[in-house]
Amino acid sequence: MDFSTRLRDHGLRVTRQRLAVLGVVDSHPHSSADAVAEKVRRDLPELSLQSVYNVLNDLTAFDLLRRFSPPHSPALYETRVGDNHHHAVCTRCGRVEDVDCAVGHAPCLTPSDSHGMTIQIADVLYQGICKDCAERSPGPAG
């Protein structure tokens, strides 16, 4: 299903800016707002950063995009939604990889004591050193 159809299915107008943002995030998963703006501007030079923030936020609200906030990083966006997958982040270079969820839907884990909260999501953030960084500077993880 293409992006135009998905937008219309949610009662959203199909704009060049939205299609461009979705296309860039689809081909470059885990992109920041700045990175998306830079790439979209190759085709739409007049696109504003404000508009990128608007589009990313609006489409995340409608589950057309997923937002992921690793520590020490701007928010990152991806089009892979609905499968509750997790992420692995390299603590040296910031590289992000998708990790399939063993269960496939949220919440995939339940806390030992939820303190009365109704849990809806369990996000797992794996942190470590990627292969490239381990090769470049073999510290204790090498």
Partner DNA sequence: CCGCTTATTTTGAGTAAGTCAAGATAAGCA
Partner DNA sequence: TGCTTATCTTGACTTACTCAAAATAAGCGG
Binding residues (CB under 8 A) for a second copy: these are: 67, 69, 71-72, 75, 86, 88, 90-91, 97, 99-100, 102, 107, 109, 111-131, 134, 141
Identify residue 128 by its one-letter amino acid code: G
Among 6, 28, 29, 51, binds DNA (CB under 7 A): 51
To the nearest whole angstrom, how small is the minimum distance from the Cβ of residue 105 to a second copy? 14
Q: Say whether residue 48 binds DNA (CB under 7 A).
A: yes
- Give the residue among 76, 63, 64 at the shortest CA–CA distance from 29: 76
Q: How does DSSP classify residue 77?
A: E
Of residues 8 through 27, those in contact with DNA by CB under 7 A are 8, 12-18
Identify residue 14 by its one-letter amino acid code: V
Identify residue 44 by its one-letter amino acid code: L
What whole-number distance in Å separates Cα of residue 142 and Cα of residue 139?
5
What whole-number distance in Å separates Cα of residue 51 and Cα of residue 21?
10
User: Which option in DNA, a second copy, none does residue 46 bind, with CB closer than 5 to 8 A by kind?
Assistant: DNA
Tokens coding 116: 């009365």
Binding-site ranges for DNA (CB under 7 A): 7-8, 12-18, 32-34, 44, 46-51, 53-55, 57-58, 73-75
